[in-house]
Amino acid sequence: MTTAPLLDRLHTQMAFVQEIDKLKRVLRRNTLMDGSRRENDAEHSWQLCMLALVLAEHAPPGVDLERVIAMLLIHDLVEIDAGDTFIYDPEAVLHQPERERAAADRIFGLLPDDQTAKFRALWDEFEARATPEAKFAKALDRLAPLLANHHTEGGTWALYKITADQVRRNAKIIEAGSPSLGAYATELIELSIKRGHLSEG
């Protein structure tokens, strides 16, 4: 028979599970690669985990892939409260840390104390980008929308008149997490420029 403390813990965990279902309704600026509709945050998180599995050989030697995937699964949960921040909107980016820290306090705080500490530590690690795991996770997080924009003839780059220099600056995070993926991102950027899908500005 389930003991009362264990049942209480389960109810607490299930309340968190119910809350994070809201991630499915947070829309991102970029579309799916076929351009049919906007992507939601849950789909984005799933795609990043798949990228981590498929592209694991491009991670720095010794990287703990399980830790990378854990970070990728939780990194955008804060957007349930804070919303998706468009990286090319300087005003939104300026206030992003404050909004997301408050969201992390509330959302991870729904879990039992030990899991609150574990999940929050993973989120903080991802945000700090100080470990090889966090750098690789962040590289994948930047690579995914670049792929989407490349495959949709410029996508949000064209819609919001983003320049190649802006994209190159943001793509530096990809190189910091994986030199080979950084080189691939540069190749896609230059190809997008050549095709007229990204302006030099």
Report pLDDT digits (tens) over 165-184.
Answer: 999 999 999 999 999 999 99
| pLDDT for 162 beyond 60 | yes
Tokens of 139: 């590289």
Q: Identify the band that residue 4 occupies on the pLDDT scale cut at 50, 70 and 90.
A: confident
| pLDDT for 1 beyond 70 | no
Tokens of 66: 């399980």
The amino acid occupying position 31 is: T
Q: Mean pLDDT across the chain, nearest whole number?
A: 96
Tell me the C-alpha distance between 109 and 150, whole Å.
Answer: 38
Among 103, 77, 89, 66, CA closest to 17:
77
In the chain the domains, ranked by start, together with CATH numbers, are: 4-194 (1.10.3210.10)
pTM for the full model?
0.95
User: Which residues are within 8 A (CB) of 177 and not within 5 positions of it... i.e. 6 or more apart?
Assistant: 59, 60, 132, 135, 136, 137, 138, 139, 140
| pLDDT for res 2 | 63
Does 78 or 201 have the greater pLDDT score? 78
Tell me the C-alpha distance between 133 and 71, whole Å.
Answer: 9
- Contact predicate 143/178, CB 8 Å: no
Does 3 or 16 have the greater pLDDT score? 16
Mean pLDDT calculated for residue range 21-44: 97
| pLDDT for res 3 | 82
For 100-156, the pLDDT digits (tens) are 999 999 999 999 999 999 999 999 999 999 999 999 999 999 999 999 999 999 999
For 39-76, the pLDDT digits (tens) are 999 999 999 999 999 999 999 999 999 999 999 999 99
| pLDDT for res 157 | 97
| pLDDT for res 37 | 97
Tokens of 147: 């792929």
| pLDDT for 201 beyond 90 | no
Q: Tokens 């793509």 correspond to what residue?
A: 171
Among 132, 173, 135, 136, CA closest to 56:
136
